[in-house]
Amino acid sequence: FLIHSSFILFCDYFGFHKLFNSSSTLFSLRKMKFFLCILALQQLYVLSVAQDFDFFYFVVQWPGAYCDSRHSCCYPKTGKPAADFGIHGLWPNYKTGGWPQNCNPDSTFDELRVSDLMSNLRREWPTLSCPSNDGVHFWTHEWEKHGTCAESELDQHDYFEAGLKLKQKANLLHALTNAGIKPDDKFYEIKDIERAIKEAIGFAPGIECNKDSSHNSQLYQIYLCVDTSASNFINCPVMPHGRCDSRVQFPKF
């Protein structure tokens, strides 16, 4: 804030003040300097926003619950994904409960930067949105809305690689099936799901549910909190607001 204020005062005095108190021979030069100063201020603001977050939500979703809803789903062009949790995103957040977004409009998704990760992204970070597509639109959205707000910690390649590593590290389907909680259309106590995940990774998860066409509460998304390096699971500074019944269905896929 102090940097921003000082910079604004600098631009104001050396730009705006002199812009209208200069001879005609210096007017164009000072006008150019003033607007360059404003552009530099905008870039400084973007950088400071990108650095200002406290933790990540690492979010995975169960494809059976995504598809078994009124929105339905479309399989990717590569075919039906595996019956496993798919990555939804890696989202910078504040301890106050808010979050930054769209922090750097100049930082666009570039397939070439993640070309070595593409096969893993298609498998572990698939899209089920309609119409059927190759996932690029989904990854573009995740990077430009969320990833750009973590550029002080992770470049584009590191961001997507971190998500892939976190999914492997959590191995949530294995944790649940080991506890006897399987995607078999049966209903399970939400507290048992939370306990199984906490025992596996050491930290309590956030759980989000949705409703199927029969209005059954389904296990939909799992939120894990991660430090700002996107390497380690941590206790959640604030839990997401996910509504679930005390017993939820774990639908087949």
Cα(140)–Cα(163) distance, integer angstroms: 14
* Residue 48, both tokens: 């400071």
Sorted by sequence, the CB contacts under 8 Å of residue 239 that are 6+ apart come out as 206, 223
Question: What is the rounded radius of gyration, in angstroms, for the C-alpha atoms of the chain?
Answer: 23
Distance CA 251, CA 253 (A): 7
The residues annotated as belonging to the active site are: 88, 142, 146
> Where do the H-state alpha helices sit in the chain?
2-11, 18-19, 24-51, 63-67, 118-124, 136-145, 156-170, 172-178, 190-201
Label residue 28 exposed, middle or buried (CB < 10 Å: 0-12, 13-18, 19+): exposed
Burial 151-166, CB ≥16 within 10 A → b, else e = bebbebebbbbbbbeb
